[in-house]
Amino acid sequence: MNLYRDILARFPRGNLSYVFAYGSAVKQQLGYKKVNQQKDNIIDLIFCVKDPVGWHAENIKRHESHYSALRHLGPIFVMKYQEYFAAKVYFNTLVPFRDLDVNIKYGVISREHLLQDLSEWKYLYIAGRLHKPVVDIVPTEGDQLLTESLANNLRTAFQISLLLLPEKFTPFELFCAISNLSYKGDFRMIFGENKNKVQNIVKAQIPDFLKLYEPAMKSLSQYVAMKFKTTNQNDGPFIEYFEQDKSSNVNEHHLRHAPVELRKRLLKNAAFKGTYPEVIIHLAKLKNLHDIVQVSVNDIVWRSSITQSLKNIPSAGLVKSLAYSYRKALKTFST
């Protein structure tokens, strides 16, 4: 955490609501060196701010070199570019802190738009990143609404994943389903990411996933049960598999709790016409419900991943964009 604190000290602190770090340089993934031994990977950060104009104004004064030529148009333009396009995030990438011997990429999102993505899955962009374990650098202490929204985002991810899974499934299968909510529809998984990324994340982080989703599991315990197995090494019991109720009534219950944007996509992809409460009665009974849910989630992610990636080119600048794309392309061909 000392490194993250040292990085955070370089940035404006006045109106931060939440800051977290994520990615392979922060949380262990298979195929990478241990996090504390990595030198080449980029540390990814998200700054959630209450006042984007004020934050960018101060940050441009401190770190003019972080920004592309868009900085010359002023902090109000940068804010508008952040908030009126794609997933409502402004990224600066390939930022070196040579004295700390690290490179970082950081995104800026307003508290208002983060809350929207968490509750509605409007873009499933930052909300999707928060489906996986992250490192909180500035926690949400004192911000009850944001704290509750983060927890509800996890519960929703768990609940929607239940619709994608069979009656019995392992912890590995569960967390792959959860991680795939924001990866399976991402066009960068075609070109720009390791094809085994989800499995590499989950295999290395199952204890972190279990801790992260423990409250959601407890809140949905009447719909899904955990079956434990005791080892012979005195390590205590571990979850061997889950077993869930797959009745149409329970499917309907899960569908009723789908976020607003997912409801729109389900209505579009369903073969039935009517209001959402009417349609899910029929959807809940379908054998291919999991396919319709997955396609609907993919629709959200596909749109936001393309538009945000295009948006990142001007904010990063052409040279940095090409360099970053090259690094990503190498992951496509890594094992």
Among residues 181, 175, 191, which one has the least CA distance to residue 290? 181
Q: Can you give the pLDDT at residue 185?
A: 75
Query: pLDDT, tens digit, for every residue of 307-333?
Result: 998 888 888 765 565 555 545 545 544
Say what percent of the chain tops pLDDT 90. 73
Q: Can you give the pLDDT at residue 195?
A: 73
Q: What is the 3-state secondary structure (H, E, C) of the chain?
A: CHHHHHHHCCCCCCCEEEEEEECCCCCCCCCCCCHHHCCCCEEEEEEEECCHHHHHHHHHHHCHHHCCHHHHHCHHHHHHHHHCCCCCCEEEEEEEECCCCEEEEEEEEEHHHHHHHHHHCCCCCHHHHCCCCCEEEECCCCCHHHHHHHHHHHHHHHHHHHHHCCCEECHHHHHHHHHHHHHCCCHHHCCCCCCCHHHHHHHHHHHHHHHHHHHHHHHCCCCEEEEEEECCCCCCEEEEEEEECCCHHHHHHHHHCCCHHHHHHHHHHCCCCCCHHHHHHHHCCCCCHHHHHHHHHHHHHHHHHHHHHHHHHHHHCHHHHHHHHHHHHHHHCCC
Query: pLDDT, tens digit, for every residue of 272-314?
Result: 999 999 999 999 999 999 999 999 999 999 999 999 988 888 8
Q: Does the pLDDT of residue 35 top 80, yes or no?
A: no
Mean pLDDT score, 251-276? 96
Q: What is the 3-state secondary structure (H, E, C) of 155-196?
A: HHHHHHHHHHCCCEECHHHHHHHHHHHHHCCCHHHCCCCCCC
Whole-prediction pTM: 0.91
Q: Can you give the pLDDT at residue 43?
A: 94
Query: pLDDT, tens digit, for every residue of 82-107?
Result: 999 899 999 999 899 999 999 999 99
- Ranges of each domain in the chain: 2-329
Q: Can you give the pLDDT at residue 333?
A: 47
